[in-house]
Amino acid sequence: MYEKRKHHFVPVTYLKGFTAIEGSLHVYRKADPTKPFVCKPENIGFTNYYYGFDKADGTFDTNSLEDAFQLVENDWPASLAAARNRSELLGNDLARLLEYIALQRARVPATRDSYERFQAAGILATARQLHAQGKLPPIPGGREDILDDLEITVSPQSSLRGIAVALEACEKVFNSLNFGILRNETEVPLLTSDNPVIWFDPSMEEDLIQPYRITQNGPIDLFFPMAPDLLLYGWNPRHAEEFLFDGVRHGALTDPDRIAFVNRMIVRFGYHTVFSTSASDAPQIAPYATMSPTLSTAEVPVIGGRLVVGTMTFGPMAQKTKWKPEDTS
């Protein structure tokens, strides 16, 4: 059986919608957005064997998850065509589109890394609790802070379970929203990123917005750039009048300032990489070069243990400790 090695966490068919020069993208690494480069969609947004996993029989499965994701991706061209034709997105058509978008949120490194970070924090909290209970060997003299300096590595395969957790979170959010397709009628194209599914609390001042942080029954805005000229927009009913809808589920964005805001959100929510049709977007990406969605954790003492609480925030990308398979031996 053919072994799939390059596992794209951003679908090639999606990125093709943001190409400009001979079918290539302008790629901006957030670590250094002043040096964009041109790249084909097939050669970006992937990690080798990213969805591979060890099976019970001792073999390594490189295809099953990738094949399952491909089935969802296959509907994307039809969804994009329906958006361009201003077809009503209802029933199964909307369900397929939202399934695609949910997978775009659940499968990406921004999500999987956060899941691994949360697991690592839980392991460390357990170690601290066991130490407090005297169930660990004594800490060597002069190393009383050893638990504070301890680096926990988590198998990347463990975060495959986090995909299901993230899909459930998407379902809860999506069920609270209305959706529309907004045509970008300005001269400024929409950007996209390696973490293109965005939601936040729109009642917050822009500088105070945090990624995916919303309150129960509170306002939510959701953005998903479908193409440089198309935005999927999810909203609470409270401010739908902000847009010019010419049908139940289609509308227009004509305000350049609003497009600028959407692009700022796209850049801020980008994890490692921003994709564009232009080579001149560094000025709008550079202010957020050190800002990516990341998980902040804290330990809360509870009866019988320590509870780890995770909160998504914008901040510097945490250095990820490389997992070594031999650590399992």
Looking at every residue in the chain, the average pLDDT score rounds to 89
Burial class (CB in 10 A: 0-12, 13-18, 19+), 285: buried
Asked if the model's pLDDT at residue 243 lies above 60, the reply is no
The share of the chain scoring above pLDDT 90, in percent, equals 66
Are 309 and 329 in contact by the 8 Å Cβ rule? The answer is no
Q: Is 246's pLDDT higher than 50? A: no
The answer on pLDDT for 143 being more than 80 is: no
Cα–Cα dist 128/123, whole Å: 9
pLDDT in tens, 95-104: 899 999 999 9
Residue 22 or residue 314, greater confidence: 314
Distance between CA atoms of residues 246 and 265, nearest Å: 25
What strand order describes the sheet that includes 250-253?
198-200, 221-227, 230-235, 178-184, 250-253, 244-245
Percent of all residues in the chain with a pLDDT value above 70, rounded to a whole number:
94
Domains of the chain: which residue ranges? 6-111+156-292
- With 70 as the cut, is the pLDDT of residue 275 above it? yes
pLDDT at 329: 36
pLDDT in tens, 108-139: 999 999 999 999 888 888 888 887 778 888 88
pLDDT of residue 326: 58
181: which strand partners?
232, 250
Residue 296, burial from CB neighbour count under 10 angstroms (0-12, 13-18, 19+): middle
Q: Kindly write down the DSSP assignment for every residue of 34-88, as one continuous string.
A: TS-EEE-GGGSSEEETTT-EE-TTS-EESSHHHHHHHHHHTTHHHHHHHHHTT--
pLDDT digits 0-9 by tens, 65-83: 999 999 999 999 999 999 9
Q: Is 146 helix (H, G, I), strand (E, B) or coil?
A: helix
Closest C-alpha among 274, 288, 281 to residue 27: 274
Higher-confidence residue of 47 and 245: namely 47
CA-CA distance, 227 to 247, in Å (whole number)?
Answer: 20
pLDDT of residue 214: 94
Amino acid 317: pLDDT: 79
The whole-number pLDDT of residue 304 equals 74
